[in-house]
Homo-oligomer: A and B are copies of this chain.
Amino acid sequence: MAFSEFRPLDEKVLIEYIKATPSLASKLGNKFDNLTIKEVGDGNLNFVFIVVGSSGSFVIKQALPYIRLIGESWPMTKERAYFEALALKEHGSLSPDHVPEVYHFDRTMSLIGMHYLEPPHIILRKGLIAGVEYPLLADHMSDYIAKTLFFTSLLYHNTTDHKKAVAEFCGNVELCRLTEQVVFSDPYKVSQYNRWTSPYLDSDAEAVRGDNALKLEVAELKSLFCERAQALVHGDLHTSSVMVTHDSTQVIDPEFAFYGPMGFDIGAFLGNLILAFYAQDGHANDQNDRKAYKAWILRTIENTWNLFDRKFLALWDANKDSGDAYLPAIYNNPELVQLVQKKFIKDLLHDSLGFGAAKMIRRIVGVAHVEDFESIADASKRAGCERRALELAKLLLKERKKFQDINEVISAILQHQ
């Protein structure tokens, strides 16, 4: 450990730290003469430094003991860096092609040193706003999701290992509590942090707060989120937690990781793709009506789910002797195996739709909005896009258990344009 107590990084401190840390210094070939250091964090949660030398590079991420939201500072444990590093390592070992490698972790400094995702990697959300198609996105994300969820669930774990891991990640409760507040609570009540495109959506936000049927279903989802330790989920898998190029898909920032319901990750990703879909009309112009791009987003939603379904079940079939959930001596005939798998996948679709919808709603009437909509300058046009997304989300959340497959979800999206 380079320092004996926590110090917020600046460029000078960082260089001193790197020189004193062999696992980082060696990545630069122990040459420190021509280092380029750039701080690229948004300053809301973490410092993020890109360090590039003549013989190598890495990223340094340091958690700060607060987060900033709309100008206000909330205290937030920097121990989240510990859980982020744990999750990066665990998910990285399961899906190495889609998770940046961790070179170094320092709990005292809340500091992670990891692989630098070089240009042209950009945040997926920015690509979606720009209208860029990523032909491998569904394949890559379904791969990441299937592997990280399958191998950290009781389909692969025995219950001894599972409970041990669950207990460890119970320590990340502060981050879970933030999710509970901003996803499952604030949008459904009057909160100083809520905002929306006013005055256009004033009555829509009020309708959310007054929708008993919606709140009844949100309670069930919150209970799943708080109580069901199904798998090690990323916990914040929206489209700004994914960096992409044409060929590469990398999942970053799992500081919200914990043992929770699988549908929370799937829903976060699909829900944010649906938000991207509804934002396209706001980005359309005379040069590009975005119709083809909207169709690509829908195909990506459909493919992500269907590929996930196929890959997840393939992992299940290939590992049917592992895990304590479905013992082969009990689930011992093809008809029964098909029954349990079909039920598992359908339940998971319903959970995913519920969580995805909750994530959509909170991005429209809650504290943290998405650039997909925020970048639509015309407030009236933006509100129109948001309202259509909100209506679809309310439908998905309330009626999620009626959907039989992803095609029915796509149809519902098309009907709510």
Contacts and interface: CB of A to CB of B under 8 A. Distances in A.
Nearest to A210: B333
A185 B228 contact: no
Stoichiometry, copies per complex: 2
A138 B333 CA distance: 43
A189 interface: yes
Nearest to A338: B212
Given A167-B167, A227-B228, A160 B177 contact: yes
A47 to B, nearest CB: 27
Given A167-B167, A336-B212, A219 B325 contact: yes
A162 interface: yes
A314 interface: no
A327 B177 contact: no
Interface string A152-175: 001000011011101110110110
A168 B212 CA distance: 36
A215 B154 contact: no
B159 A173 contact: yes
Interface residues of A, number: 47
A212 B164 contact: no
Contacts of A13: none
Interface string A322-346: 0011110111110110011001000
Q: In this complex, which of A159, A177, A189, A227 has the most chain B Cβ atoms within 10 angstroms of its Cβ?
A: A227
A416 interface: no
Contact of A227 (B164, B190, B222, B229): B229
21 contacts: A154-B223, A154-B226, A159-B173, A159-B226, A160-B173, A163-B170, A166-B166, A166-B167, A166-B170, A185-B330, A212-B336, A215-B330, A215-B340, A216-B339, A216-B343, A218-B330, A222-B325, A227-B228, A228-B228, A228-B229, A229-B229
